[in-house]
Amino acid sequence: MRAELEGELRALASRGVTPGLAAVLVGDNPASATYVRMKGKACEETGLHHETVRLAKETTQAELLALVDRLNADPKIHGILVQLPLPKQIDSQKVLRRVAPAKDVDGFHPENVGKVSIGDPTGFRPATPFGVQQLLVRSGIDTTGKHAVIVGRSNIVGRPMAALLLQDGPGGNATVTVCHSRTREIKAVTRLADILIVAMGKPEFVTGDMIKPGAVVIDVGTNRVDDPATKKGYRLVGDVKFDEAKQVAGAITPVPGGVGPMTITMLLFNTVQAARQWAKS
């Protein structure tokens, strides 16, 4: 998919435009630092301009908002990514809403949330659900008429995932059920899924007996669990118990791998889309 961007990047370059992504990292969260580094590497490999702004964890909300304003006004930057979570003294919603909708390549601004929910193609689809949708499309899994069950209702994955699967078009036209912490008899619901998408942040929550035989299982979770047998003292697992699930599922994504690389790739697609829309404006 990254190779597909080459033609579009050449077309933009002929007009003097190089898509630019700015990543803002506040504090020293190691997982966030890893994500930002991987995104920067992907930009370099693909030919996008990339800037990482690192701020101390003591940074005030006013200082962060001032930085966002500066990036909003910078013509070299077409996409702005504020890495979550932010320190406690900062209101994340206030910061995310300060990002100009035209540069909100994470798709978190209410304007983009609204556009995605009604199927407006100028809206930015959040990178993780967008990546899951493309993963299904590119793997030849037809979603039309299928029952898709999403476990988790976050604004980052669950809700926008439901909106994308409901839309009329490739990777859409599914019948969608969203489960959450108040869902009763969740096992009975997940076993109805032709496509089961799990994004709840609970290590290995979904077990083999919660999956309909032959179902497609997409594991969005990335969790650290203690494992003294490893050099780092921990290992990464998803929200699905992989060894059990793979015995039942028709197709399944691994953790690590699977959805993670797709998320980064879709962020590149959104940044190129932002540059294209800026060049037309």
List, in order of start, the domains of the chain with CATH numbers: 5-111 (3.40.50.10860), 127-260 (3.40.50.720)
Rounded to two decimals, the pTM is 0.94
Question: What is the three-class DSSP state of 242?
Answer: helix
The 8-class DSSP code of residue 233 comes to S
pLDDT of residue 215: 98
Token digits of residue 176: 């969608």
| Residue 146, CB-side half-sphere exposure with 13 Å CA sphere | 22
pLDDT of residue 151: 98
By annotation, the residues acting in catalysis are 39, 83, 106
- 198 within 8 A of 238, measured Cβ to Cβ: yes
The tens digit of pLDDT for each residue in 210-268 reads 999 999 999 999 888 888 888 888 888 999 999 999 999 999 999 999 999 999 999 99
Q: What angle do CA 120, 123, 126 make, to 5 degrees?
A: 120
Which residues are within 8 A (CB) of 101 and not within 5 positions of it... i.e. 6 or more apart? 109, 111, 112
Token digits of residue 189: 């619901």
Which residues are within 8 A (CB) of 188 and not within 5 positions of it... i.e. 6 or more apart? none
> Dihedral sign, CA of 178, 179, 182, 186?
positive
Question: What is the three-class DSSP state of 52?
Answer: strand
CA-CA distances (angstroms) from residue 117 to 79, 144, 155, 263?
21, 18, 12, 19
- 55 within 8 A of 64, measured Cβ to Cβ: yes
Can you name the residues that pair with 219 across neighbouring β-strands?
A: 198
Where the chain has pLDDT below 50, the residues are none
> Dihedral sign, CA of 118, 119, 123, 126?
positive
pLDDT of residue 38: 93
pLDDT of residue 19: 97
